[in-house]
Amino acid sequence: MKRGKAGCTNHKTGAEYEQKAGAYLEEQGYEILEYNFRCRAGEIDIVARDGEYLVFCEVKYRTDASTGHPAEAVDARKQRRISRCALYYLMRHGLADQACRFDVVSFEGETVTLYPNAFDYLGG
């Protein structure tokens, strides 16, 4: 499957905002462990540590609110995909008993908002 120019642009923009989100999270005291963890179930934009928690973080960006707030794009389907990927991450790294949570970092234009514990694990 060929990737068009828009796909490349979206990927580049996404990577830029993931790096911005990582820098923002570090300012908040998080330790970034990994960017773009991929597995068969999907991808997690950022894996970080915040105190006792392992944090699986989704990054969303919108230029403006015309297509909705960026955090709204993390719907139940996306939450299930992230949850499955997080479970795989925990198993793969032998962290089955690790306290974890799911955060969302949203960018609307240049405004950044962190939603800690944005959603609960949605397995299945």
| Per-residue pLDDT reduced to its tens digit, 31-63 | 999 999 999 999 999 999 999 999 999 999 876
User: pLDDT: is 73 or 21 the higher one?
Assistant: 21
Say if residue 121's pLDDT is above 60. Answer: yes
In-domain check, residue 124 = no
- How much is the pLDDT for 78? 92
Position 62 in a domain: yes
Structural domain boundaries, residue 53: 5-119
Q: What region, left, alpha or beta, does residue 3 occupy, with left being phi > 0 and alpha being psi -120 to 50 degrees?
A: beta
User: 101 to each of 2, 11, 48, 69, 118, how far by Cα in Å?
Assistant: 35, 25, 10, 21, 8
Q: Which tokens sit at 47?
A: 């894996």
Closest CA to 119 of 100, 102, 107: 102
- The CATH code of the domain that includes 85 is 3.40.1350.10
Classify residue 121 as left (phi > 0), alpha (psi -120 to 50) or beta.
Answer: beta
Number of domains into which the chain is organized: 1
